[in-house]
Amino acid sequence: MHGKVQETGELSIVPVASAAELDRFVRVPMRLNAADPHYIAPLMMERREALTPKTNPFFAHAEVQFWLAVRGGRDVGRISAQIDELAPSDGGPRAGHFGLIAAEDDPMVFAALFAAAEAWLARRGCVRAQGPFNLSINEEVGLLVDGFDTPPMVMMGHDPPYVAARVEALGYRQIKDVHAYASRLSDDLPPMVRKMVDRGPPAGVRLRMLDMKRYDEEVRLLTEILNDAWSHNWGFTPTTEAETAQLAKSLKMVVDPRLAWYAEIDGEVAGFIVVLPNINEAIRDLKGKLLPFGWAKLLWRLKVQRLKTARVPLMGVRRKFSRTRRGQLLPFLLIDAARAQARALGYQMVELSWILDDNLPMRSILEAAGSRIYKTYRIYEKTLG
């Protein structure tokens, strides 16, 4: 991460090149959103790991650059640009990505940050810029455009309402929307779905919880199904072995085996659902810090006080089963099993996200199961040059 400082009037665009600058980069949205009652500061430790090549395997197949916008000695914005060599081509000119956008509500700051990111992408042969991706499509995606009145769930973004207008003013247009669905666990499934799942799994179908004794193998199975089930989705980028290992490590700290379910068809693992406790609920007042007493608060809230909200970030059915009668039943059986366990553990609301706007089969499943859209995130594109 290096380059020349670009000056725009009194504004400096500084490439991040040190650990100290990376810490400043992480803190920008914390300061900008300090007055927003729904903003939740991420843990500094987690953000450092996610944005450092040594600890995030994404960097093994991507080139990444971060910038800070500095005015009068104060950090007033940030942005990233990245080129993921594993990202699929949609048949058009080469696309690069931007992400991690956060800035004061000032058109000059936004223009300077995007100019730096676009020039960096153009020098590397990119003809289009897409985003935001923080950093990849398998992490946080999209800019919040609807649903500002509730806090974000774990691994989901939160942006001030003005950001979308600033991005669009720079020539970016919508290419995809992704949705977050909410499901209140006090509500039962709709009668038709309830009747269907109450019949129980059909012959040859078995549901089981995650086996922690075979944890690494279970996560490998999960990513294998994920890479298969999502392979035809827009922008799909496969998860590598190194990323699978990293996923296993990060999930192990928070996953509850009672909330991770697998479905087998004739002895073959055919589908899964993972419900994660909403860690954001537990860290909401820690201001990104675990020391000196944050760990104690976090453990208390996770183990004793218990959380009330959770998120389904991962669900899928192998493609070879998805058009069969038994395969089409699996999502409903998995949702019902996970909902029952979550309700028994005291959870009140579950978010299912993110779902592409044009993923009509999944949207139909979620809406048939009684869920509703409560947040929308937008992915933008601009032709460079």
Segments making up each domain of the chain, as ranges: 6-178, 183-376
Same fold, 6-178 and 183-376: yes
183-376: CATH homologous superfamily? Gcn5-related N-acetyltransferase (GNAT) (3.40.630.30)
For residues 109 and 70, give the distance between their C-alpha atoms in angstroms, rounded to a whole number: 9
Contact predicate 233/359, CB 8 Å: yes
Q: Candidates 3.40.630.30, 1.10.3720.10, 3.40.50.300, 3.90.25.10; correct CATH number of 6-178?
A: 3.40.630.30
3-state secondary structure (DSSP) of residue 331: helix
User: Measured on CA atoms in the order 65, 236, 47, 103, is the torsion positive or negative?
Assistant: positive
Task: Give residue-wise pLDDT tens across range 254-280.
Answer: 889 999 999 999 999 999 999 999 989
Eight-class DSSP state of 5: P
Instruction: Determine the straight-line distance between the first and last CA of the chain, rounded to whole angstroms.
Output: 23
Q: Is the pTM of this model over 0.85?
A: yes
Residue type, 164: A
Predicted confidence (pLDDT) per residue in 125-171, tens digit: 999 999 999 999 988 999 999 999 999 999 999 999 999 999 999 99
Q: Is 276 in a helix, a strand, or coil?
A: strand
Q: What is the pLDDT of residues 52-106, one digit of tens each?
A: 999 999 999 999 999 999 999 999 999 999 999 998 877 778 999 999 999 999 9
Residue 15's CB: how many other CB atoms inside 10 A? 17
